[in-house]
């Protein structure tokens, strides 16, 4: 049976969500192909209608669009951007980003909850980006969120899973797909997130700033798949002391006669 997960009314087999914010447009199609991504994010400002550089021309039709509310400083702005994205033909999926902190770019969890309540009632498939906090995640689940997207580290930092202990709490307590977003800088970071039981990882900066972008897309795809397989297989035990993998008999028997 194929290993899949569901967001809203759509089922996905790829657990690699590709961000497009830092890509040159002519590399997006290649990245999608090498990553095997079935969901790609886009900012509304990149889906322009003037015909000059429309990102929608570079995304295969079978890929689900995930517009984000990048640039929103409060819930009202996020709601306005979401509605515009739907009017532009981007569909019902929306990633809520509400950031008013210009130095650390941390999400405003309170305003994110408020935007999620409004948009979920309007039929959007809401995927909120948050600082990993259990109470916030519970509020979002009650508000109708389709998934939770906790940050691993500050946006664009490539530092890895700095918030791993808090992500573990969400995985244990929240009955929604947990998609680790922001800060994942290496394939090993993505593999680690998937080993914990994350439903998917969203990657942007780590791929966009790599020397060979299509090859790095492939590396992340393989790492995500490996981490998922490890999670499904059940991780091996961890001991505080050594334990021989083969019986130690005869040559290490201190009671044997010389």
129 and 96 Cβ atoms separated by less than 8 Å: yes
Distance CA 148, CA 255 (A): 59
Residue of 15, 8, 9, 2 lying closest to 227 (CA atoms): 15
Alpha helix (H) residue ranges in the chain: 25-35, 75-87, 109-121, 134-143, 164-173, 187-196, 205-208, 213-233
Comparing C-alpha atoms, which of 40, 46, 16 is closest to residue 217? 16
Which residues are marked as active site? 95
Residue reference for tokens 């408020």: 114
Whole-number CA gyration radius for the chain: 21
Nearest to 66 by CA among 113, 146, 5, 125: 125
């Amino acid at each position: 049976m194929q290993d899949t997960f569901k967001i809203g009314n759509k089922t996905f087999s790829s657990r690699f969500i590709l961000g497009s914010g830092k890509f040159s447009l002519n590399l997006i199609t290649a990245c999608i192909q090498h990553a095997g991504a079935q969901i790609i994010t886009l900012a509304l400002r990149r889906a322009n209608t003037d015909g000059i550089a429309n990102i929608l021309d570079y995304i295969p039709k079978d890929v689900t669009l995930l517009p984000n509310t990048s640039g929103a400083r409060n819930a009202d702005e996020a709601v306005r951007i979401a509605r515009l994205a739907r009017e532009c033909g981007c569909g019902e999926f929306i990633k809520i980003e509400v950031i008013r902190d210009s130095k650390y770019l941390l999400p405003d969890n309170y305003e994110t909850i408020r935007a999620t309540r409004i948009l979920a009632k309007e039929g959007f498939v809401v995927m909120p980006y948050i600082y990993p906090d259990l109470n916030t995640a519970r509020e979002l689940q009650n508000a109708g969120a389709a998934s939770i997207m906790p940050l691993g580290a500050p946006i664009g930092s490539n530092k890895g899973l700095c918030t791993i202990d808090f992500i573990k709490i969400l995985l244990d307590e929240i009955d929604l797909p947990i998609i680790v977003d922001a800060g994942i800088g290496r394939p090993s970071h993505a593999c680690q997130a998937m080993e914990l039981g994350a439903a998917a990882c969203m990657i942007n900066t780590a791929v966009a700033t790599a020397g060979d972008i299509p090859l790095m897309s492939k590396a992340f795809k393989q790492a995500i798949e490996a981490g998922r397989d490890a999670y499904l297989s059940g991780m091996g035990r961890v001991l505080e002391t050594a334990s021989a993998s083969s019986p130690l008999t005869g040559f290490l028997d201190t009671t044997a006669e010389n």
